Structure 1
Amino acid sequence: MDHQRVIRDVTVRLPMASNAPEACRWTVAALSRHTPATISVLLHVHDRLRCVAATGAWQVYATVPPSAGIVGRVFTTGTAAAVPDVTADPDYLPVRPDVTAELCVPVLDPAGQPIGVLDLQWTEPVDLEPWREAAQQLGVCLGARIVALGGPPAESRSEMLLRHAAALSLAATEPDLLAAAGWAAREVSTLSTAVLLIAEPDGARLGPSAPAPDGLEARIRAELTEAGPSALGRMVRRAHRYGAGYTLGEAGHQPTGDYGPLTRAGVRTLVAVPVGPPDAGGVLLVADERLLGPDPTTVSLLELLAGQAWASLDRLRTLARLREQASSDPLTGLRHTGPFGQRIAAAMPGRTALLAIDVDDFKTVNDTYGHQAGDRVLVGLARALEGALRHGDELYRIGGDEFVAVIEVSRPEEAVRIAERLTEAARRTGRTISVGVALPRPGETPDRTLRRADQALYAVKRHGRDGVHLAAA
């Protein structure tokens, strides 16, 4: 193989390329006439190595993180890699099962900095060293031509939308998601500001702000805050009634009164996009101080973004409900055994008391009136006991008619007084309870403390029920 001829054949047309993707395609096409290797050129676009040209379009990755694979290693280090046995390289990204060898070289700008990689993969035996020297020269020539043409291609709006959609799907909390949606809307639309309004029963509220809100966003938030939830709710309903679109932006025409707070803030262009259903979603307001003409493509991209944001938000809310259901009693809404175990494990000796609570003669209710009547008794008692506790005290249901309260106290007598308040609250519902009180001893396990509280409770049962007993210190 005359590798100098390979270099000439590839580089002869590079000066005629009119843009970077064309230069990459010509390089790949010329190289493919000299080798059966799968060839690809990946350039650094935004935060990924993106495949700009390749042979065998189904045997290459479309994008690769700069930290992944042999291509990522070459881009990060700026050093070529010749791998005669890909199975022996832990960084190899398997694309085809029959690939045996890989050669990857950096595509360098005139200053010697990597702007991408040229990658070749073979499925048959090959002497990599002569190809390595030729590929490195091609990487330098291709890099110089790409820079002369203005550098790697900019990230397209669709690619940008895809990147942000992936980020939204990975958001771990609702505030993170809403903040990511606002940032994505600004980038995709090229408008300066994005504000989310979240629907609530009494109207709507403002979503989280950008990390460092600019002057326009600060003014918008101030005006919307002054306008109040009802005015924000009208904006949400308007967007859901009429759909997404440019609602400001035409000189000499007054906007609808619903958008008065935005015009007072200095907004001259506004895209309002509904998010989710009107009662649970909201509206995405993307604004700018510049007076811009309508762009249907921008609106369409923002609608896609809003759809992804709602899908991700709905997923987070569903997961939160499932977690709440998993950690709470579905009948009374009280937390149950799992969270109770975590709470008493963190109890501070001398500052915490456990109150073991049992409903007196509850079996009689179920046997006489049925389980539905028993459920109503439990729900009524749960609400009454919660109401008798102080702020910060916690009530758990740990069995059929068994409850435990974890309270913060400074003295045993204080714990007894609170237990007596619970018995009084129960009597007002027409039922009675027995309560055993125990304070954790230094070094005592939570299970042992609860056992002593149970023993105190049964002492109440033995003496006629409807009372309180304090376990020995």
Structure 2
Amino acid sequence: MLEQERIVRDVTARLTRASSAEDACRVTVTTLSAHTGAMSAALLPVRDNLRCIAASGAWQVFTTVRAGRGVCGRAFRTGRTQTVTAVSADPDYIPVGAQGVQLEVSAPLLDTTDRPIGVLNVEWRTAVDVDNARAVVEAVAACLGDRITRLGGPPAENSSEKLLRHAGALTTAATEWELMAAANDAARDLSGLDAAVLVMGDGERIRVGMPTVLPNDFEARLRQVMAGLPESTLLEMVMLAHRHGSSYTLGEKDHCPPQVYRPLLAAGVATLIGVPVGPADAGGVMLIADERTMEPDPSTVNLMEMLAAHAWANLDRLRTLAQLRELAMSDPLTGLRHQGPFNERIRSATPGRTALLAIDIDQFKVINDTYGHQEGDAVLVALSRALKHALRHADELFRLGGDEFVAVLEVRHPSEAMTIADRLTAAARAIGRTVSIGVALVDEDEPPERALRRADAAMYGVKRDGRNGARLAPGASTGRTA
């Protein structure tokens, strides 16, 4: 028989000396295990998880349990004590190394409004009276819940835990914009300031990260101001951070800020942290700001630097992956996409609207045989540029191999496709070359591959008739020119 009054009295006496929620948890489980010989654990919520704050009587425990999982999660979710006498038959039981558990009692820790603020979990490997065990755990849980409430409630997520959580969000970002939004969220959360803006370059231009949803009016106003700044000013912000390193305001008024930051002051910025991100030529600067006048703690700036380093590592990874995907999808000589992307594109062909233009360089073999493959490559590069510039903005050009190109157009009439084909032959002549082009519109119920064969046949007809021209292929179903 468990001596309930003596256990509760001992726990209560020790809890009065606990100075934090963590201390209260440690005191409780240590005292409870000493009296019962059972495995005891106290878990408190941290965001969406129950974190094991203290445990005793087991070789190993799980550090984190999802708030709705396990017997502990069930007790926390329902706010009611859970008693399990056959752990092997309970689908929610989470084994923690103690073999032969005969009883598990999981009691919620409640605040003054009976809201769950944690869980006290006890497991016995010896036979005990179930009702008595439950009464003991519930009584001790009531003492622990009361003491944690008096100490201010469960501890908040610390900076290290926040940084790790946000690091996970940065790692899973699938695009640059998702990553920039995740970095801004992390900067606000870790710093306690109201706004965060990433100014990033890609080696060609500087831009301000603008998420779809803005967290507050101040950040919306700040981003609007920054989006209207000339690129030279944004570049100056980036170079200032990379030249001198991270910086932060001291909360002192009536001092002259750097000229480049004055538009931010006009937007209401009173506190500003600036942290360089990545290298100066391809990276940027993270600006974290607030309307309130504060002096950020230097340790907060250190956290921002770690966040910026992690954000850049993931941004660089995304850019590298994008480059590798582009290389995998593109012809390395001309930069045009090749067979794989072409096959993807023609799957969405619209009958009567999608035109395929089979383009072949005239006498390309003679160029290679006479002047060598290096000259042939130069011709391919020059011609691909000329053809691409002659196409409309929405038209697409692919290189399928050798000197064979295909343009994919969306047109309203076959004559529109022929007009574009004539522009392509003129573009080739402008650089001293000629091409033969066959044009086919994808017919109703016609596989696009068959339309491409018709375009090829029309192109070879042009070659037989002297090259340097374009021809519309007969329709697939009628055998007549559309």
TM over 0.5: yes
Partner of 1:151: 153
Q: Distance in 2 between matches of 1:170 and 1:128?
A: 49
Give the stretch that moved more between structures: 242-251 or 125-134: 125-134
Which ranges in structure 1 are unaligned for 5 or more consecutive residues? none
Partner residue, 2:320: 318
Question: How far 1:267 moved relative to its partner?
Answer: 2.2
1:287-436 alignment runs, 5 A limit: 287-436=289-438
Aligned twin of 2:30: 29
1:70-125 Cα shifts (integer Å, max 9, x gaps): 43333223344445665655545565495756543322334333222223456x56
1:402 maps to amino acid: E
Distance 2:177 2:64 in 1: 29
Report 1:78-93 matches (<5 A): 78-83=79-84, 88-93=89-94
Q: How does 1:256-295 map to 2 (within 5 A)?
A: 256-295=258-297
Q: Give the conservation status (yes or no) of the 8 Å contact 2:399–2:405.
A: yes
Label 1:27 to 1:263 Cα distance change in 2 as closer, same or farther (>3 A).
same
| Residue 222 of structure 1, CA deviation | 4.3
Q: Would you say how many aligned residue pairs link Structure 1 and Structure 2?
A: 472
CA distance in 1, matches of 2:87, 2:450: 59
Structure 2: 5+ residue runs without aligned partners? 476-482
Q: Indicate the residue corresponding to 1:204 in structure 2.
A: 206
Match of 1:192 in 2: 194
Give the drift of 1:26: 0.9
1:451 is aligned to: 453
**Which amino acid is 1:434 matched to?**
S
Q: 2:33, 2:57 within 8 Å by CA — same for their partners in 1?
A: no
C-alpha distance in structure 1 between counterparts of 2:100 and 2:334, whole Å: 61
Quote the offset at 1:219 in angstroms.
4.1
> Secondary structure of 1:250's partner?
coil
Secondary structure, counterpart of 1:398 in structure 2 = strand
Which sits farther off after the overlay, 168-177 or 208-217?
Answer: 208-217
Three-state SS of the structure 1 residue aligned to 2:461 is helix
3-state SS of 2:272 partner: strand
Structure 1 residue aligned with 2:45: 44
For the 8 Å contact 2:200–2:283, the answer to whether it is kept is: yes
1:226–1:341: structure 2 CA closer, same or farther, 3 Å change rule?
closer
Question: Cα distance 1:367–1:80, how it changes in 2: closer, same or farther (>3 A)?
Answer: farther
Alpha-carbon distance, 1:407 to partner: 0.6
Does 371-380 or 13-22 show the bigger shift? 13-22
Secondary structure of 1:456's aligned partner:
helix
User: 2:163, 2:34 → 1: CA distance?
Assistant: 36
One-letter amino acid matched to 1:23 = A
Does 2:233 match 1:228?
no
1:297–1:424 CA distance, 2 compared to 1 (3 A)? same
- 1:32 is aligned with what amino acid? S
| 1:2 partner letter | L
In the alignment, the residues of structure 2 paired with residue 268 and residue 389 of structure 1 have an alpha-carbon distance, to the nearest angstrom, of 51
Determine if contact 2:210/2:223 at 8 Å carries over to the other structure.
Answer: no
Instruction: Give the conservation status (yes or no) of the 8 Å contact 2:214–2:220.
Output: no
Which stretch of structure 1 is more off in the superposition, 96-105 or 64-73? 96-105
Q: Deviations over 1:350-403 (max 9, x none)?
A: 111111222233233333333322222211111111111112111111222221
CA distance in 1, matches of 2:334, 2:96: 54
CA contact (8 A) 2:59 2:98 kept: no
Evaluate the alpha carbon distance shift between residue 346 and residue 227 of structure 1 in structure 2; reply closer, same or farther with a 3 A threshold: closer
Give the Cα–Cα distance (whole angstroms) in 1 for the partners of residues 90 and 343 of structure 2: 48
Deviations 1:212-266 (A, max 9, x none): 3544434433443444111121111111111112145323321222222222223
Change in CA separation of 1:98 and 1:152 when aligned onto 2, cut-off 3 Å: same
Tell me which residue corresponds to 2:478: none
How far apart are the structure 1 equivalents of 2:72 and 2:61? Answer: 11
Aligned-pair CA distance for 1:278? 1.0
Q: 1:420 to 1:106 in 2, by over 3 A?
A: same
Report if aligned partners of 1:247, 1:255 keep a CA contact under 8 Å in 2.
no
What SS is found at the alignment partner of 2:397?
Answer: strand
1:371/1:77 CA distance change after superposition, 3 Å: farther
Matches within 5 A, 1:161-172: 161-172=163-174
| From 439, 457, 465, the counterpart of 1:437 | 439
Q: Classify 1:196/1:383 alpha carbon distance in 2 versus 1 (closer, same or farther; 3 Å).
A: same
**Secondary structure at the residue paired with 2:369?**
helix
The 1:67–1:199 alpha-carbon spacing in structure 2 relative to 1, beyond 3 Å, is same
Structure 2 CA distance for partners of 1:79 and 1:331, relative to 1, 3 Å: farther
CA RMSD of aligned residues (A): 2.7
Q: Which runs of 4+ in 1 moved over 6 A?
A: none
Q: Using structure 1 for the length normalisation, give the TM-score.
A: 0.90
Relative distance call for 1:97 and 1:275 in structure 2 (3 A) is: farther
Q: Report the 3-state secondary structure (helix = DSSP H, G, I; strand = E; otherwise coil) of the residue aligned with 2:458.
A: helix
